[in-house]
Chain A
Amino acid sequence: MTWSEMSPLLSQACWDTLYMVGWSALVAVVGGLPLGILLVLTDRGGLLQNVLANRVIGQIVNVARSMPFIILMVALMTFTRWITGTTIGREAAIVPLAIGAIPFFARLVETAVREVDGGLVEAVQSMGGDTWTIVRKVLVPESLPSLIAGTTTTIVALIGYSAMAGTVGAGGLGDIAIRYGYQRFETELMWITVAILAVVISLVQFAGDFAARSLHGRSGRSGPAPKLRLLKAT
């Protein structure tokens, strides 16, 4: 294959990947954030303690996370058709990608929110704040650097999943690597695709780390943080 043959293929694939990953990441964040917060709030000793609800949400998240993506894609076909009107193409791939990423992100949110110091929650309660105030003004802003790191991890995972979206004709970089590179022995194209994927993932990771770090920096935690932590522990 010559470069002039590869170039339109690759640019279309890049665009497809970004399109799928972008939309599904957005849905994952919008869906996973409240779910993750609910997991914390409904837990034993949480502000909205509800052991039954916590267990049900936790189980749904576990089942969804344990399903291999390709099976999830097939299992969700009826739902996908209901949402997008089709089961093939980029739009159709977004649905299973997003559904697969929501529980993944929700667990990351849960971990991040659990890290927030309970004393801050108590402080806001003592000011007369309700649960919603605590979520908006304490849990989310205080865990923001971790939430951004979790979003980065989710986007990287979604880029990986999106390789399998080719099975429903959605295209994308991973699909090119599999169909042209692996199945048609176009080794050169395969390596170029892999290189592009590596660059894309590095960029995402870099941007995410930068955003998380600048937030840390804003609150000064990057500098004297270890010392302060020690003080707090005593």
Chain B
Amino acid sequence: MTSLPYQGTPTPAYSTATETPVITTTDLTKVYRSRGREVTALDGVDLHVREGEVYGVIGQSGAGKSSLIRCVNLLERPTSGTVTVAGQDLTALAGRGPRAGKELRRARSRIGMVFQHFNLLSSRTVQDNVELPLEILGKSGKERSRKALELLDLVGLADKAGAYPAQLSGGQKQRVGIARALAGDPKVLLSDEATSALDPETTRSILQLLRDLNRQLGLTVLLITHEMDVVKSICDSAALMEHGRIVESGTVSELLATPGSELASALFPVDGEATGDDRTVVDVTFHGEAATQPVISQLSRTYNIDISILGAAIDTVGGLQVGRMRIELPGRYEDNVVPIGFLREQGLQIDVVGQEPVLLVEGAK
């Protein structure tokens, strides 16, 4: 009946993620003290971002995402724990005073950052905004303007070099913000809710730009967001934050393969009830190689059974087709042991809805 999974727009590029860690935080804590009250924003966070991947940290406001991303370039000083970016222990560079020393400032200049509210200087033109980090790096005027124009071209705003930020739309402002963040040739880009102030259409185009930059430049992107769609559309890996802790993390495939993963079920929500007592409802999770096989129609043909699809959420995440589908087979579970076994043999993760969790564990690989 159908060849699965199907997705709309083919993405030719594949994940540029490697195994080299580029951002690592160990047991990071951040406690804010004000007027005798203590608020723990980060509570022992271990984050591992690999080189070349797009890593999304998702959580509700107040979960500590913002503190986390600010601790990565030490705009916030962690109370304890270490932050390593590109092999450099930033927490060791920080020194004891509240002000950033020369070493830390140099390290920061190699980490790009984009902001929710863009944070462009209204007194400078677009080009001068992009040149600002280069001025800080002490580049010559000629070099600055060459680089700035090159970056504006890269983000598609070459014709706006002389405009002031107030004359731009939100999406254009964020493009300038991204161009500015790339001026110091960073290996790592931090994105602090970069699309949260934008409309859905513009959000998509900015995410696409981040994705392209990740692919073209091998740029590692660490982003925080409260929108599941952002993670879904561009992230290779994701972490879920709650109350200052990372409660789940991994590549999208890994998350999908984890039975009971909150993040996976939020990314790929499936529901639908059995249409009768003598029916078996099965959740099929596609990730990795098996996702390219037309398994459902094979199943239908091989065992000559009618399969109803109750719900499905299939997407392309990090260039791989992943997702979940809830299907209904005629007959009770006992009658369907063989077809379910067939699905498992295809390398799919099968969760039989309403069965003992022990079966779920069997299902995962």
Taken residue by residue from 25 to 59, chain B's Cβ proximity to chain A (1 for < 8 Å, 0 otherwise) reads as 00000000000000000000000000000000000
Task: List, in ascending order, chain B residues with CB within 8 A of A218's CB.
Answer: 123, 164
With A47-B99, A220-B167, A231-B170 as known contacts, state yes or no: A128 contacts B119, CB within 8 Å: no
Q: Which of A51-59, A69-77, A114-122, A193-201 contacts B (4 or more CB under 8 A)?
A: A114-122
In angstroms, how far is the closest chain A Cβ from the Cβ of B299? 49
Chain A residues within 8 Å of chain B by Cβ, number: 34
Contact of A128 among B99, B133, B170 (CB under 8 A): B133
B92 at the interface (CB under 8 A from A): no
Task: List, in ascending order, chain B residues with CB within 8 A of A224's CB.
Answer: 166
A211 at the interface (CB under 8 A from B): no
A78 at the interface (CB under 8 A from B): no
With A133-B136, A219-B166, A220-B167 as known contacts, state yes or no: A126 contacts B117, CB within 8 Å: no
With A47-B99, A141-B124, A219-B123 as known contacts, state yes or no: A127 contacts B165, CB within 8 Å: no
A131 at the interface (CB under 8 A from B): yes
B4 at the interface (CB under 8 A from A): no
Question: In whole angstroms, how far apart are the Cα atoms of A103 and B178 in the complex?
Answer: 41
Q: From A227, which residue of chain B is reached at the shortest CB distance? A: B166
B86 at the interface (CB under 8 A from A): no
Interface hub of A47, A120, A125, A126 (most chain B Cβ within 10 A): A126
Question: In whole angstroms, how far apart are the Cα atoms of A224 and B168 in the complex?
Answer: 10
Interface pair A131/B167, CB less than 8 Å apart: no
In angstroms, how far is the closest chain A Cβ from the Cβ of B49? 17
B98 at the interface (CB under 8 A from A): yes
Chain B residues within 8 Å of chain A by Cβ, number: 34
Taken residue by residue from 16 to 51, chain A's Cβ proximity to chain B (1 for < 8 Å, 0 otherwise) reads as 000000000000000000000000000000011100
With A122-B75, A124-B136 as known contacts, state yes or no: A221 contacts B166, CB within 8 Å: yes
Chain A, 168-221, CB within 8 A of any chain B CB = 215, 218-221
Interface pair B122/A234, CB less than 8 Å apart: no
Interface pair B121/A120, CB less than 8 Å apart: yes
In angstroms, how far is the closest chain B Cβ from the Cβ of A211? 14
Interface pair B123/A125, CB less than 8 Å apart: no
Task: List, in ascending order, chain B residues with CB within 8 A of A141's CB.
Answer: 121, 123-124
Interface pair B108/A126, CB less than 8 Å apart: yes
Q: From A48, which residue of chain B is reached at the shortest CB distance? A: B99
Question: In whole angstroms, how far apart are the Cα atoms of A129 and B134 in the complex?
Answer: 10
B113 at the interface (CB under 8 A from A): yes
Interface pair B99/A127, CB less than 8 Å apart: no
Task: List, in ascending order, chain A residues with CB within 8 A of B184's CB.
Answer: 127-128
With A141-B124, A225-B166 as known contacts, state yes or no: A232 contacts B135, CB within 8 Å: no
A1 at the interface (CB under 8 A from B): no
B109 at the interface (CB under 8 A from A): yes
Interface pair A129/B164, CB less than 8 Å apart: no
Interface pair B121/A128, CB less than 8 Å apart: no
Interface pair A126/B73, CB less than 8 Å apart: yes
In angstroms, how far is the closest chain A Cβ from the Cβ of B181? 8
In angstroms, how far is the closest chain A Cβ from the Cβ of B176? 12
In angstroms, how far is the closest chain A Cβ from the Cβ of B216? 22
Interface pair A234/B105, CB less than 8 Å apart: no
Task: List, in ascending order, chain B residues with CB within 8 A of A124's CB.
Answer: 132, 136
Residues in A lying within 8 Å of B, measured CB to CB: 47-49, 117, 119-120, 122-131, 133, 137-138, 141-142, 144, 215, 218-221, 223-225, 228, 231-232, 234
A-B contact pairs, 21 of them (CB 8 A): A48-B99, A49-B98, A122-B115, A123-B113, A123-B115, A125-B75, A125-B108, A127-B132, A127-B133, A127-B180, A128-B105, A128-B109, A128-B184, A130-B100, A141-B123, A142-B121, A144-B123, A219-B123, A219-B166, A224-B166, A234-B197
Top 7 closest pairs, chain A to chain B, by CB: A220-B166, A128-B109, A123-B119, A128-B105, A126-B113, A127-B133, A119-B119
